[in-house]
Structure 1
Amino acid sequence: MEPIRIFYFSDVLCIWAYIAQIRLNELKTTFQDQIEIEHHFVSVYGTAREKLENRWQDRGGWTGYSNHILDVVKKFDHITVHPDIWTKVTPPSSTSCHLFLHAIQLLETKGLVDRSEQIFEKAIWAFREAFFTELANVSDRQVQFEIAEKLGLSVAAIQAQIDSGEAYAQLSKDFDLVKEHTVTVSPTLIFNEGRQRLNGNVGYRVIEANIRELLHNPPEEQSWC
């Protein structure tokens, strides 16, 4: 049986995607080669400063949004967030991060780095952790280079994927998939060729139940219920 393909859409700057990473890790441990998680990006924070200024101007501005994030985090003990999140450092856009991460993904796809190291997923986590715990402006290319170097990656090789236009093509593919599947929330999981989806802060057991249902009732043997 072919592994269940899961489209996972997220934004690097999204707190809910940061929280949800532990669930993805558990899914991979539990189901191993029964699932295939395909990462894509949705630009919820594509215009981060403008978006938050507009949405939070009557609710305390940056401080109000920061307090909201900190209140959310209090409910989870597996992550750490800097107390000055979104106030001292405000990345202008997650799109820059997504482009850079796709360049790293291309290194993996082309076999220019050891695929068993899963460096693309490690890089996504490194970007999230750098922003949420260290207040790194991950939109800045120099900061991105520093994160890549800490992961042992060649900055020149990454830049080559961007310069060639290939990383932009991957990002454009994300835009097309977001439109095709009408994705507006980070994170969003899409199963069964778009027939099933889970949006936002969904508990692990709910995700697991959806996967087990697909394993027991594959598309060609759809359950009447």
Structure 2
Amino acid sequence: MPRGTDDVVVGLDAELFAPGLLHELKQPLMGAEAALTLLERSLGSSLEAVEEWRMLRGQVARIAEIVSGYEELLRPQGSVPEPFEVGPVVGRSVELLAHRVRPLGPRFALALGPGRLAGFGRPTALVHAATNLLANALDAIEDAPGARVEVRVLEQGASAVEVRVSDEGAGVPSEARPRIFEARFTTKAPGKGTGLGLHIARSLMAQDGGRVYLVPEEDPARLPWAVTEFCVVVPASAGGGAP
């Protein structure tokens, strides 16, 4: 197992257990994806109008993204960093949580920034990180009627592209902020969080020179209404454009 990931999975047989579990998960996942494809062929485009179908499709896709993210964490040599357009990748993260985003209506906003902002790294890592941050933001506003969530893609000079996820929810307690990226640390109620999401998101982004951080209140680019704002920094593509 690569150094630095040993705190993600524990136990005497962790090196065998984690890849083995991913392998076992992929078998039923492939079956579920095949079954969904067959249903689409049989029933046609009318399925797209069924909310339960869209939710099912989204959840299977979400499982696939989770499996892919863990595989990259455990075996980063299996994929190669590349230039990619950041906006569509972030849009993919929003799609994976569409069943939770859609009910918010105008209380959710997605701003993909000017032009085709290009990053360099592994798109699957950004999908994993952005989806995790958005899921956390949606969790944070569950008990805050009228609260907003916004996802933005911003250009940070010529060196990086930022993905910012802001919410008007419960906030992160000040005493918890130094520990939020620790493995297995969570501020969520028992059964609602594993404490691995932020840790894995940061680890995945760091593999290619990116980072994830909690935006301080004095940051000039922070939304003024945001109670909590996280930022994913993606190194800019050297060529200045996506393929």
- TM-score normalised by length of structure 2: 0.24
Higher helix content, 1 or 2: 1
- TM-score normalised by length of structure 1: 0.25
